């Protein structure tokens, strides 16, 4: 069982790294795209916000998965599960806020174009 715990902890750390890299590479990509379209597009700032927001959303989702794996396998005490719950709630709120900011609607609302 200790071997499994070790491997799952390692996988969780790798997934956390992937989440951080996703946000970092997304930031670099968004800034590069912004600089390329700065002179040719009037809405370059909006595109920067959209691209950056999407990379942050994806990174947050990956980090939530890593936190769940690390907590469930490594330290399944009630205190750790409650801490995980709070982390997931905070990250879910951030994700929801970002999605509303990017799309102008909640995920469960119908698309404005289909009304």
Helix%, strand%, coil% for the chain, nearest 5:
85, 0, 15
Query: Could you read off the pLDDT of 81-101 as tens digits, one per residue?
Result: 888 889 889 988 888 888 888
**At residue 97, what are phi and psi to the nearest 5 degrees?**
-60, -45
> How far is it, in rounded angstroms, from Cα 73 to Cα 28?
33
Query: Could you read off the pLDDT of 35-70 as tens digits, one per residue?
Result: 988 877 778 888 888 899 889 989 988 998 888 888
Contact 16, 59 (CB under 8 A): no
Question: Is residue 30's pLDDT more than 90?
Answer: yes
0.85 exceeded by the pTM? no
């Amino acid at each position: 069982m200790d071997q499994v715990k070790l491997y799952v902890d390692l996988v969780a750390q790798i997934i956390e790294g992937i989440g951080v890299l996703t946000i970092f590479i997304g930031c670099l990509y968004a800034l590069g795209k912004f600089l390329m379209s700065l002179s040719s597009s009037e809405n370059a700032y909006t595109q920067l916000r959209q691209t950056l927001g999407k990379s942050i959303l994806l990174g947050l989702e990956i980090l939530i998965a890593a936190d769940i794996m690390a907590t469930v396998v490594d330290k399944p005490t009630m205190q750790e599960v409650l801490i995980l719950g709070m982390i997931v709630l905070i990250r879910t709120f951030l994700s929801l806020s970002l999605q509303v900011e990017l799309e102008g609607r909640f995920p469960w609302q119908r698309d404005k174009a289909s009304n």
